[in-house]
Amino acid sequence: MPFLSTDRLITIDHYIAEEENLHPDASGDFSSLLHDLTFAIRIISRDVRRAGLNDILGITNSTNIHGEQVRKLDKYSNEVIKKTMIQGGNICVMASEEEDDIVPVNSESKHAKYVLAYDPLDGSSNIDVNITIGSIFSVYQRLDQSAKGAGTLQDLLQPGYKQVAAGYALYGSSTILVYTTGHGVQVFTYDPTLGEFLLTNQNLKIPSKGRLFSCNMGNYYNWDERVRQYVDYLRMKSDDGDRPYGLRYIATGVADVHRTLHYGGIYLYPPDLNNLEGKFRLVYEANALAMIVEQAGGRASNGIVRIQEIVPQNIHQHTPLFIGSKLDVMECELFLQGNHPAQLRQF
Ligand code: MG
Ligand code: MG
C-alpha cells in the first residue's frame, strides 16, 4: 500500500479546532457540534455501504421490499443524526426531511446555542443500484443566544445567509465531506483504515463558467417555455465552440451539485407541472448547497433571488434551484427573465 501523502495529514477535527481559534470568543461548542455531526456521518457511511450489499442480496425479493429497505435506511440515518446531536447537547432544535415537525431539544446539562437542519439521506432511491447518495446539513445560531431550553420554529426559519456552517457528505467511490463556515470550501476524504476525515482539497473554487448542464430532461415538456428555451440554447452549437454543453444527471441532487462544483456549469431543478414550487427543499437541502457553491465563487438562485435570501415560511418549503458557475447561472436567469442572448434570437 502506498504511503499516505504527508500533505494529507490534517484531520477534520484538527481543522475545525484551528478554525475555532480564529474566533477568540468561541467556546468550543461549535467544534464539539461538528465533531458529533462527523461522527454521525461516519456511522451512516459505514451502514450505507452495508445496505448496498444487502440490497444486492435482496434483489430476488419484490420491489416493495426494496422500497421498504430504502425507507428504513432513510429513517435509520435520520435517527443516527438525531440521537448523536441530542446526546452532544449543542443543538436546541432540529428540522429533518424525515421528521414532519421540528424536533425541539431540551438539554438539561448544556446551554445549547445552535440549530440544525438536515437531509439525512439525499438520493436514497439510488441506493438499490449502488449510485452515490449523501447527507446535507445547515447549522444556525439560535435567535436568542441567552435563551435556555429548547429552540423554536422561528430558529429554523432563518434565511440561508445566516448559516454559520453548511456542508454535505457523499457516499460515493469514497466518502467525502464538503464543508464551509463562511471561510471558503474545504473537502475532506474519509480514510476508513484510520477512521478519520483528511483534508484533500482546501479552498475549492468552482470554474466561473462550465461546459456541462444537469437537469431531469424527462420533465422538458412540463417546464415553463423560458426554461425550455434556455436548455435548447445550451444544446445548440455556437460559433465560438462553447456549445453544445454536455448533459450529466445522476438524480441525487447533492451528487449532481458536487460534480458541478468541480467541473463548473449549471444544475437546475426548475418548477414543473407536477412540482409547481420545484422539488428541492429550501431549509435542509438548497440553503446548504447554495452556501457551499457561493463560498466556492459560484451562484445559486430560485431564478429571481438568491436562495440564501429567501425567508422560509415553513420547514418543508420547496424552491426552484438554479446553481453552479456564476456566469452560467446568470445567463440562465436572463432567459428566465425573458432576456435572451442574441444567439437565441437567431435560432
Ligand atoms: Mg432524503
Ligand atoms: Mg433529499
Residue 72 has pLDDT above 70, yes or no: yes
Which residues belong to CATH 3.40.190.80 in the chain? Answer: 212-344
Q: Please state, rounded to an integer, the average pLDDT across all residues of the chain.
A: 89
Distance 69 CA to ligand 2 centre (A): 17
Across 128-132, 153-157, 182-186, 219-223, least confident range: 128-132
Residue-wise pLDDT tens digits, 286-327: 999 999 999 999 999 999 999 999 999 999 999 999 999 999
Q: What is the mean pLDDT of residues 122-126?
A: 84
Distance 136 CA to ligand 1 centre (A): 9
The C-alpha cell at 347 is 435560432
Q: What is the mean pLDDT of residues 104-114?
A: 84
107 burial type by CB count under 10 A (0-12 exposed, 13-18 middle, 19+ buried): middle
176 burial type by CB count under 10 A (0-12 exposed, 13-18 middle, 19+ buried): buried
The pLDDT score that the predictor gives to residue 49 is: 84
> What share of the chain has pLDDT > 90, as a percent?
75
Q: What does each C-alpha distance from 65 to 70, 71, 128 come to in angstroms?
A: 9, 10, 11
Across 4-18, 161-175, 263-277, 285-299, least confident range: 4-18
Distance 118 CA to ligand 2 centre (A): 9
- Per the listing, cell 438539554 goes with 107
- Taking a 5 Å cut-off on Cβ, the residues next to ion ligand 1 are 97, 119, 121-122
Ligand nearest to the CA of 251: 2
Across 4-13, 71-80, 232-241, least confident range: 4-13
Residue 67 has pLDDT above 50, yes or no: no
Ligand nearest to the CA of 269: 2
Residue 261 has pLDDT above 60, yes or no: yes
Which residues belong to CATH 3.30.540.10 in the chain? Answer: 12-201
| Gap between the Cα atoms of 302 and 275, Å rounded | 14
CATH homologous superfamily of 12-201 equals: Fructose-1,6-Bisphosphatase, subunit A, domain 1 (3.30.540.10)
Q: What does each C-alpha distance from 259 to 124, 262, 265, 321 come to in angstroms?
A: 18, 5, 9, 16
The pLDDT score that the predictor gives to residue 125 is: 77
The pLDDT score that the predictor gives to residue 82 is: 98
Ligand nearest to the CA of 285: 2
Determine contact, residues 267/256, Cβ cutoff 8 Å: yes
Distance 279 CA to ligand 2 centre (A): 9
Distance 121 CA to ligand 2 centre (A): 6
Q: What is the mean pLDDT of residues 117-126?
A: 90
Residue-wise pLDDT tens digits, 2-31: 666 666 689 998 998 888 877 666 678 889
Is 212-344 assigned to CATH 3.40.50.720? no
pTM: 0.92
Distance 91 CA to ligand 1 centre (A): 20
Ligand nearest to the CA of 127: 1
> Would you tell me how many other CB atoms lie within 10 Å of the CB of residue 250?
18
- Identify the bridge partners of residue 165 per DSSP, sorted by sequence position: 139
> What share of the chain has pLDDT > 70, as a percent?
88
Residue-wise pLDDT tens digits, 43-58: 999 888 887 666 533 3
